[in-house]
Amino acid sequence: MTAPLLEVNNLTTVFGSGRGPIQALRREPAVSVRAVDDVSFTVARGELVALVGESGSGKTTTAQSLLQMIPVTGGEVLFKGQDVSKVSGRALRALRQHMQVIYQDPYESLDPRYTVRRTLEEPLLIHGIGGSRRERADIVTGALERVGLTPPDLFLDRYPHQMSGGQRQRVSIATALTLEPELLVADEPVSMLDVSVRAGILELLDDLRDSGLGILMITHDLSTAAKYADRIAVMYLGRIVEVGSARDVTRDPRHPYTQALLSVVPTPARAGLKRQVLTGETPNAAHIPSGCRFHPRCPQAEQTCQATDPVLGVVPRGAATHEAACLRLADLVPAAAGGDDTTPV
Amino acid sequence: MSPVLEVEDLTISFRVDDGPSVDAVQGVSFAVNAGERLGLVGESGCGKSTTLFALMGLLPNTAVVGGNVMIDGRNVLREGPEALRAARWSDVAMVFQGAMNAFNPVKTIGWQITEAMEVKGTFTGKAALKRTGDLLELVGIPAERAARFPHEFSGGMRQRAALAMALANDPKVLLADEPTTALDVMVQAQILDLLERLTDELELALVLVTHDLPMVTETCRRAAIMYAGKIVEEGPTETLYRDPRHPYTRLLFEAMPEIGEDRTVASIPGAPPRMDRPIVGCSFAPRCPSAMDVCRADLPDTRDVGARHIAACHLNDPDRVVATQGSVT
Amino acid sequence: MSQIVLAPTPEDAAAEKSRRAPLSWVWRQLKSNPGAATGGIVFLVFLLVSLPARLVAPYDPHATFATGYRPPSPAHWLGLDDGGHDMVSLLIYGTRTSIFVGFGASIIAIVIGVGLGLAAGYWGRATDAGISSITDFFLVIPEVPLMMVIAAVWGQGLGKMILIIGGLLWTWTVRVIRSQVMSVKERVYVRRAKALGATDWRIVTRHVLPQVAPLIIVNFVLTVAVAVFDESALSFLGLGDPRAISLGRILENADQGGAATLGAWWALVPAGAVIAILILSLTLMGQAVEDALNPRLKVSHLSRKHFLLLPNVRTGAGRPDPTPGARQGEILGDVA
């Protein structure tokens, strides 16, 4: 089997504000925020991996670290076997041709002064692709058609404010596609769009995945992840607490956090089900609880959970690719593996 | 039992300097009883939030409002702006989306809640302070946090504090405009649980405005679906899910992926119509997969289609011969 | 996958085109902001009158017609100053000099200010700290003593005055530009350009600068106003170019010649009035440009007609929705 497109190993990103002389005098500890703490996962070609979590989970920071928009503190990011967390300058710019980002806010991600044509041409001009105007025009029209903005001529001369949110998001995707990237990082690509428009964008990402792109999708919406992702990684406070195929994670969740999350997702089909509403909120990443970071809110927590920090391990009586980081995995195996009693779905 | 909140034929237009008026809300009617939760669902631009603002008298003065709004029997709309202002925050209160904007950043939370009471004269002095503490406890915030400032609260806690502030004067009607949109899934669940508990305990009439239809099916027993300024369907949420009588309702449900359900997720092509032009026929017709000729010509009537279930769609017209292609379900 | 696309209607296309046509744009600005329009027209008048000074002025300003003050008369509408020179001609040449100094100094100020502001705003941290310290240093330098020193060492002259005024005025511009650059830098589309692999140079020139341009224009106009004032003040104090005729020098002259005690108002008041009106007109113009371009700083190319007028600001899922009440230029609701 070929190496995965993207391989993240032990990624750690720490934001430290350090301390100035005054703080040192006052003996205040340096504030350091471990936004991403020892995170590992892979994305293969033609695979859509969803990184799911609430705010403070570190999912966005992880995505930004991949492209070096935020400096990486530790670990490695291997893109096609090459560690890209340490490159800079020209190499980094060249790399950015292969890894593209789709942002959450369709209303802010396009320069309001640029027409669609100019926005789409920009990456080509930056990287020197398409020698003549004719060639570039072909690439641009091709990209527009690929994202469903047809006929392309209708859109080329439009300004962002003349388009709906969904159309703008498609333009963003088209812009990314002009560079023929191999990996797309989609940061909450539909959360700011109207419900009726979301499926269109997600189907587009689905098509792109089918055509061979690797896609890492950051989202807080488990339902979307369940439907479109091949694999799901659930993050909590900088760690991946559960990872596996979308089916396994959503139908047979083993980590108490995943279970709680799934139970509160509104499902009209099973409107009467008991929700497991956790108390409190995700703590600040500057004050990560000792032992298992989830233990203060965990309905299944025991003494050991306060002391020991669990690592990801294959879940008992489950798929080999299904892992969770919980000390009580063995105790909490559902009656029939595949989930009936403990799982709400 | 007569409804605590009754909206009858509400219309809201906005005057525009250099153009025709925008008819944001066109004849909306609904009623909510004490202790009942009604979801007002629609996408952006459908007029749901505008409706709420009208109930609170918070519309700009370019707005022209018509119809009747009865709160506990009193027609606050017809009685003039004074009546609306008097009712605001004492009979009807509101919780907004993103509570960061509900609070003054330089005053403590406690001060602001107390102020809400003193301005209305419902409680003053020591009694107000005591009640502030009680209200905070009621929404799950320790009373001593009243001395803290808004920025010291997390998003979820701020929203709870906003709820406490809304409940300060013991209103009968609580309006919630997308109260959980900017919040995490778990916090969202907490706030919804809180809303449920409060409406049950305090017998509030709750109108919950949101675009999140599945959330409404869990929290509200009834829902009204809005499109382009009109209510296109209203009924028990359970029924709306199992037997929708308007294509838009059905498509809205289908547009949300559901865990455990393996169906295709729908998207609705096109966009809502412009509200500054008169619309001929059904406003949803251009995007409706079941549209017939009559839909483009005539406005559909709002009909009874079941127990406390109404819908405005030609497909429900018993006189029409319904071809299989045109059926809603 | 099908997509119902609402093509812009012919009216939309026509409206958009007319919106962009420069002449109609100017006309609409004038219509909507009368105060600013007045400022612009007044300044234009000053410009047209003073630039071709030799053609417009009735007499040579250096020519003497009497030995001292003379009140206004049909031959000399604003009389003669204490040296017997025609006031009107003096004023015309004076205005030209003041405008010249104003613009000259401003250009220097803007070039330095924008350059430093961009650098400080975009690269932040060390660069910003460094530039901010330099700015603070220059802020403290008092103009008048500096001019005195320079005058004493190198003599007085218009060129030197332009350099001094410009060399100290840029501090104001730096601050303003720096803040705007810092905010634009964080916009998603700028971060996106970076993620696409654009070089800093490209980002600054193609994305940041266009967004900051309106602010630069406004700042320039207002800086000219300040520079004109500075020139007047410095010349009044005798630090101006003794060979040049400027409004400030006219005032200085009048002061030296005792115009006030002698009651020769024509030597004093008109010059002061011209300075004041000139500065006022520039300020109004600056405000006009700011008002016209202000919505564009945040949400460019907006026309209310394209959008639903509802009190919701771009309500999409996940976006916090602040206060109700429609404000001009706000995006409210979204239609294809």
Alpha-carbon distance A345 to A334, whole Å? 13
CA distance A58 to A51: 10
- Closest Cα in chain C, distance from residue B273 (Å): 7
Q: What are the φ and ψ backbone dihedral angles of C250, each rounded to 5 degrees?
A: -60, -45
* Cα separation values, A88 from A12, A285, B37, C230, Å: 18, 28, 56, 48
Say how many C-beta atoms besides its own lie within 10 A of residue C127's C-beta.
14
Please give the pLDDT value at position C28: 66
Domain count, chain A: 1
Q: What is the pLDDT of residues C93-109, one digit of tens each?
A: 999 999 999 999 999 99
Among the partner residues B14, B58, B269, nearest to C309 by beta-carbon distance: B14
Helix axes C247-256, C209-236, angle to 10 degrees: 20
Q: Which amino acid is at B54?
A: A
Q: How many angstroms separate the first and last alpha carbons of chain B? A: 34
Nearest CA in chain C to B49: C312
| Closest to B216 in 3D by CA, of B19, B40, B32 | B40
In a domain, residue A163? The reply is no
Please answer yes or no on whether B258 and A251 come within 8 Å at the CB atom: no
Q: Does A194 touch chain B (CB under 8 A)?
A: yes
Instruction: Say which residue, B327 or A117, is predicted with more confidence.
Output: A117
Query: Residue A154 is nearest to which of C7, C318, C319, comparing CB atoms?
Result: C7
Q: Tell me the per-residue pLDDT of B132-142, one tens digit each, with 9 for 90 and over.
A: 999 999 999 99
Higher-scoring residue by pLDDT: A187, A94: A187
Give the pLDDT band (50/70/90) at residue C14.
Answer: low
Distance CA B125, CA B170 (A): 17
Check residue B83 and give its pLDDT: 83
Angular region, B307: left φ>0, alpha ψ -120 to 50, beta rest:
beta
> Residue A333 falls within a domain, yes or no?
no
pLDDT, mean of residues C33-56: 83
For residue B119, the SS3 value is helix
d(CA C277, CA C262): 25
Residues of C in contact with B177 (CB under 8 A): 321
The domain defined by C33-301 folds into MetI-like fold (1.10.3720)
Given CB atoms, is A340 within the 8 Å cutoff of chain B?
A: no
Non-local (6+) Cβ contacts of C325 within 8 A are B58, B59, B60, C311
- Rounded mean pLDDT of A233-237? 96
The distance from CA B177 to its chain's CA centroid, rounded to whole angstroms, is 6
Q: Which long-range contacts (CB under 8 A, 24 or more apart) does C57-66 make?
A: C57/C86, C57/C88, C57/C89, C57/C92, C57/C93, C58/C86, C58/C88, C58/C89, C59/C86, C59/C88, C59/C89, C60/C89, C61/C85, C61/C86, C61/C89, C61/C90, C61/C92, C61/C93, C61/C245
**Cα separation of C252 and C270, whole Å?**
13
Q: B281-295: per-residue pLDDT in tens?
A: 999 999 999 998 999
User: Looking at residue C2, what is its pLDDT?
Assistant: 31
Average pLDDT over residues A325-338: 77
Query: Has residue C3 got a pLDDT over 80?
Result: no
- The dihedral built from the CA positions of residue A206, A207, A212 and A215, taken in this order, carries a sign that is negative
B184:A54 CB<8 A: yes
For residue A86, the surrounding DSSP H or E stretch is none
Is residue C311 within 8 A of residue B50, CB to CB? The reply is yes
3-state class of B295 per DSSP? helix
For β-strands A6-18 and B37-41, DSSP reports them as unpaired
Most A CBs within 10 A among C185, C196, C296, C300, hence the mutation to make, goes to C196
The pTM assigned to this predicted structure is 0.80
**Chain B nearest CA to A127, separation (Å):** 35
Q: Which helix (H) or strand (E) holds A3?
A: none
The nearest alpha carbon in chain B to A199 belongs to: B267
Instruction: Quote the crossing angle between the two packed helices B125-138 and B155-166, to the nearest 10°.
Output: 130
Question: Alpha-carbon distance C300 to A111, whole Å?
Answer: 10
Would you say residue B15 has pLDDT above 60?
A: yes
Compute how many other C-beta atoms are within 10 angstroms of the C-beta atom of residue B277.
Answer: 10
- For tokens 């009623």, name the residue: B31
pLDDT band of residue A244 (cuts 50, 70, 90) is very high
Query: Over 90: is that where the pLDDT of A207 sits?
Result: yes
Nearest chain A CA: its distance from C5 CA (Å) = 9
SS3 category, A164:
coil
Using only C-alpha atoms, chain B has a radius of gyration, in whole angstroms, of: 21
ipTM score for this prediction? 0.85
**Residue ranges of domains in chain B, CATH in brackets:** 5-91+171-265 (3.40.50.300), 104-169 (no CATH)
C8/A69 touch (CB, cutoff 8 Å), yes or no: no
User: Are the beta carbons of A200 and B269 separated by less than 8 Å?
Assistant: yes
Q: Categorize the per-residue pLDDT at A188 as very low, low, confident or very high, splitting at 50, 70 and 90.
A: very high
How far is residue B310's CA from residue B249's CA, in Å, rounded to a whole number? 12
Q: How far apart are CA A148 and CA B136, in angstroms?
A: 51
Pairwise CB contact (< 8 Å): B154 & A261: no
C185 CB within 8 Å of a chain A CB: no
Burial of A127-160, coded b for 16+ CB within 10 Å and e otherwise, reads bebbeeeeebbebbbebbebbbbbebeebbebbb
Rounded to whole angstroms, how far apart are CA atoms B288 and B250?
Answer: 11
Which of A195, A228, A261 is nearest residue B185 as measured by Cβ atoms?
A: A261
Query: With 60 as the cut, is the pLDDT of residue B327 above it?
Result: no
CA–CA–CA angle C11, C13, C18 (5° rounding):
95
pLDDT at B110: 93
Sequence-distant (≥ 6) Cβ neighbours of residue B1 within 8 angstroms: B33, B34
A281 in contact with chain B, both atoms CB, cutoff 8 A = yes
Contact C145/A at CB under 8 A:
no
Question: In the structure, what pLDDT confidence band is assigned to residue A138 with cuts at 50, 70 and 90?
Answer: very high
| Share above pLDDT 90 across residues of chain B, in percent, rounded to a whole number | 56
Distances in whole angstroms, Cα of residue B222 to Cα of each of B41, B305, B313: 11, 15, 19
Asked if residue C170 has pLDDT above 70, the reply is: yes
Cα B200 from Cα B37, distance rounded (Å): 9
Domain boundaries, chain C: 33-301
Partners of residue B62 in chain C, C-beta under 8 Å: 309, 326
Express each pLDDT in C237-268 by its tens digit: 888 788 888 888 888 888 888 888 888 888 88
Query: Which pLDDT score is estimated for C331?
Result: 33
Q: Do A345 and B259 touch (CB under 8 A)?
A: yes
- Buried (b) or exposed (e) across C182-212, using 16+ Cβ within 10 A? eebbebbbbbbbbbbbbeeebbbebbbeebb
Mean pLDDT of B178-184: 86
Residue A240 φ then ψ, to 5°: -90, 120
Whether the per-residue pLDDT at A24 is higher than 70: the answer is no
Question: Average pLDDT of chain A?
Answer: 87
Contact A112 C299 (CB under 8 A): yes
Q: Which domain holds residue A15?
A: 1-87+216-284
pLDDT of residue C30: 65
Nearest alpha carbon to residue C173 among C127, C235, C131, C125: C131
Percentage of the residues of chain C whose pLDDT score is greater than 70: 77
**pLDDT tens sequence across C66-92:** 888 888 888 888 888 888 888 888 889
List of chain B residues whose C-beta atoms are within 8 Å of the C-beta of residue A279: 190
Cβ contact C334–B24 (<8 Å): no
Mean pLDDT of A91-100: 84
Given an 8 Å threshold on Cβ–Cβ distance, is C314 in contact with A200?
no
Q: What is the pLDDT averaged over residues A226-246?
A: 95
**Selected residue with higher pLDDT from A109 and A24:** A109
Is the residue at A194 inside a domain?
no
E strand residue ranges, chain C: none
pLDDT number for residue A1: 52
Tell me which chains share at least 3 CB pairs under 8 Å with chain C: A, B
The least confident of A113-122, A181-190, C192-201 is C192-201
Beta bridge partners of residue A6, listed in sequence order: A43, A79
Q: Which pLDDT score, from 0 to 100, does residue C4 have?
A: 36
Look-up: residue for tokens 């654009």?
C198
User: Looking at residues B294-318, what average pLDDT do you find?
Assistant: 90
Q: How far is CA C263 from CA A228, C70, C72, C246, C254, in A?
A: 89, 11, 12, 22, 11
Query: CB-hemisphere CA count at 13 Å for C328?
Result: 9
Q: What percent of chain A has pLDDT over 70?
A: 91
Q: Three-state SS string across C254-321, please?
A: HHHCCHHHHCCHHHCHHHHHHHHHHHHHHHHHHHHHHHHHHHHHHCCCCCHHHCCCCCCECCCCCCCC
* Average pLDDT over every residue of A320-325: 94
Per-residue model confidence (pLDDT) at position C312: 30
Task: Name the minimum distance, in Å, from the CA of B123 to any CA of chain C.
Answer: 27
CATH number at residue A41: 3.40.50.300
Residues of C in contact with A123 (CB under 8 A): 196-197
Residue A228 contacts B where some CB pair is shorter than 8 Å: yes
- pLDDT per residue over A77-88, tens digit each? 999 888 888 887
Residues in B touching A54 (Cβ below 8 Å): 184-187
Report the pLDDT value the prediction gives residue B227, as an integer from 0 to 100: 95
Q: Is residue A11 part of a domain?
A: yes
Instruction: Compute the nearest-CA separation of B91 from chain A (Å).
Output: 31
CA distance A9 to chain C (A): 22
Crossing angle of the two packed helices C22-32 and C10-20, in degrees rounded to 10:
80
Q: How confident is the model at residue A339 (pLDDT cuts 50, 70, 90)?
A: very low
Q: For residue B112, give both structure tokens.
A: 């602001």
Least confident among A130-139, B206-215, C29-38, C139-148: C29-38
Mean pLDDT of C216-224: 90
pLDDT digits (tens, 9 = 90+) for A56-85: 899 999 998 888 778 888 899 999 888 888
| Contact predicate B141/B160, CB 8 Å | yes
> Which of A213-217, B40-44, C130-134, C326-330 is predicted most confidently?
A213-217
Residues of A in contact with C334 (CB under 8 A): 164-165
Q: Is A198 on the interface with B (CB under 8 A)?
A: yes
Q: Which residues of C touch B (CB under 8 A)?
A: 2-4, 6, 304-305, 308-312, 314-326, 333-336
Q: Which residue of B has its CA nearest to A194?
A: B43
B210's enclosing H/E stretch is strand B205-210
